Amino acid sequence: MAAPFLTMTGICKQYPGVRALDGVTFVVSPGEVIGLVGENGAGKSTLMKILGGVTTPTEGMIEIDGAGIEGLTVNASMEAGIAFVHQELNLFDNLDVAANIFIGREPTRAGLLRLVDDAALHRQARSLLDQLGADFGPERPVAELSLAQMQLVEIAKALSLKARLVIMDEPTSSLTASETERLLAVVSRLRADGVSVIFISHRLAEVEHLADRVVVLRDGRTVAELARGEIDAATMIRHMIGRELKTVYRPPAAPPGEPIIELSGLRTVYRPQAAVSLVVRRGEILGLAGLVGSGRTELARTMFGLDRAVAGKIGLAGSKVEIGSPGDAIERGVYLVPEDRKRSGLIIDFSVGDNITLANLPAYARFGLIDAVRELDQAKAQRARLEIRCPDTTVRVGLLSGGNQQKVVLAKWLSMAPRLLIFDEPTRGIDVGAKAEIYRLMREFSDSGVGILMISSDMEEVIGVSDRVAVMHEGRIAGFLERHELSERAILSLAIGRSAT
Ligand SMILES: Nc1ncnc2c1ncn2[C@@H]1O[C@H](COP(=O)(O)OP(=O)(O)OP(=O)(O)O)[C@@H](O)[C@H]1O
Ligand SMILES: [Mg+2]
């Protein structure tokens, strides 16, 4: 076997109150795809940040091409050929694709002024994009691209830097199925060119499909290394959570009851030409499927009063209501757990506890004062219930790992008394164990008489969790599927505007 490109030995990282990494040894050989998996907070991103020179380890050694490196910096990491495809993408919206790929390294024309050679810039960018099978040109403004396309720009940038290792931290968590497939093909191509890839994902099927080797982290330690033939989802899960995962989905305890919410001819400001009618009943989980852009989030925003409906009616427990603001919605027990937790779900500078209890402050107020003890109890209870990993509830939410932040968003809404819960992509970026826990909580809520509307692009989740599914296409409901009619094929054909077959 070829000499390793990179060796990390005995890496520890101590944060105040948290030992994020505890003696991890990690080796990368040329041209291998390593799947890096583990529960939320296991230390995956921290290990990668150390490789990128963004964070310094408390202890441990890093060698690149056999030479020890003291105090790896961002620049040294980049120069050694380590590139990141960031989840929060680092691109300049106002520049075109080519300029973003070569930013700071633009080819220049001969002459005193060193003007940027635009023709060469675009030519070189085009050739990189072609290698990656991109469906857009170098002259497109980045602002017009989809997330998947932006990721390709980042990968093109990595190629242009002659990257030897590309690190992808949850690259597919916001991609559609076909975009994901394309990204996986790009990873295979990188491998064929001798580039190593570290692929972090909670979608274990992708890891199974792609990885030559899998490293499992738990509580900051390497608990398993699986070779190609040993990689399967069940084995990864067992190592990740240290036990077998019990059944994930549970059917409802009783048939659904009367309607909780009834939309008739509802038209959103986004797509006023399309009218939506649907009913969510007591005790049922209605899945809302559809392609990205089919209007699911717009519908949720309108139901929650973030946008005004331009026409149509909303009936709540039998009577017509106006939901003009989120305040109206919350007062009526309609809650939205949003998709974009950073922008609309959390206040990143507030503590975990404050984020959990924020939306429900009146419940802790007595004589106009906030009852801090009750508030703290509630925050602690929710933290335990969802197994949110943090030293205590006073920690800033921004310091939690991605998946744990998502759990805080959930905790915030679950601490109230909902009638209708709208979840928009509830388990994006969440590990398998916590997913099962969230499904269990959803079912607990629905069994207690709450109606649930769950927007999800995760087919397995839609089919597993929903009692019934509404499929959207171009702002309309293309069709409803009953539990026994649910299949990936039936959902997809409605989602692309055909009838369910
Ligand atoms: N800057 C920081 N200050 C304090 N604690 C931190 C900091 N960054 C990370 N941590 C903690 O270190 C631990 C590991 O976090 P990390 O982000 O590496 O997890 P992860 O495996 O990437 O999880 P996820 O799957 O949720 O993304 C967590 O407990 C996290 O709260
Ligand atoms: Mg992470």
- Indicate the domain borders of the chain: 1-81+164-244, 91-162, 261-333+417-495
Provide φ and ψ at 113, rounded to 5°.
-80, -15
Residue 434 has pLDDT above 90, yes or no: no
Q: pTM here?
A: 0.75
Residue 433 beta carbon below 6 angstroms from any ligand 1 atom: no
Q: What is the mean pLDDT of residues 204-224?
A: 94
Three-state SS string over 407-476 comes to HHHHHHHHCCCCCEEEEECCCCCCCHHHHHHHHHHHHHHHHCCCEEEEECCCHHHHHHHCCEEEEEECCE
Class of the 1-81+164-244 domain? Answer: alpha beta
Ligand nearest to the CA of 352: 1
Class of the 261-333+417-495 domain? Answer: alpha beta
Residue 45 beta carbon below 6 angstroms from any ligand 1 atom: yes
| Ligand 2 centroid, distance to 21 Cα (angstroms) | 13
Residue 430 has pLDDT above 90, yes or no: no
pLDDT digits over 349-374, tens only?
Answer: 888 888 888 766 555 555 555 566 77
pLDDT value at position 342? 60
| Ligand 1 pocket, mutate which of 11, 13, 15 (most atoms under 8 A from CB) | 15
Q: Which of 100-104, 368-372, 472-476 has the lowest mean pLDDT?
A: 368-372
Q: What is the mean pLDDT of residues 60-74?
A: 93
Band (214; pLDDT cuts 50, 70, 90):
very high
Q: Which residues contact 16 (CB under 8 A, 6 or more apart)?
A: 391
| Ligand 1 pocket, mutate which of 45, 172, 207 (most atoms under 8 A from CB) | 45
Buried b (16+ CB within 10 A) or exposed e, 348-385: eeebbbbbbbeebeeebeeeeeeeeeebbebbeebbee
Band (494; pLDDT cuts 50, 70, 90):
very high
| Ligand 2 centroid, distance to 388 Cα (angstroms) | 14
Q: What is the mean pLDDT of residues 200-218?
A: 94
- Bigger pLDDT: 362 vs 76: 76
| Ligand 1 centroid, distance to 47 Cα (angstroms) | 10
Atom of ligand 1 nearest to the CA of 431: 25
Residue 400 beta carbon below 6 angstroms from any ligand 1 atom: yes
Same CATH fold assignment for domains 1-81+164-244 and 261-333+417-495: yes
Residue 383 beta carbon below 6 angstroms from any ligand 1 atom: no
| Ligand 1 centroid, distance to 218 Cα (angstroms) | 12
pLDDT value at position 1? 62
| Tokens coding 59 | 């202890």
pLDDT digits over 435-457, tens only?
Answer: 888 898 889 889 989 999 999 98
Which residues lie near ion ligand 2 (Cβ < 5 Å)?
45, 402
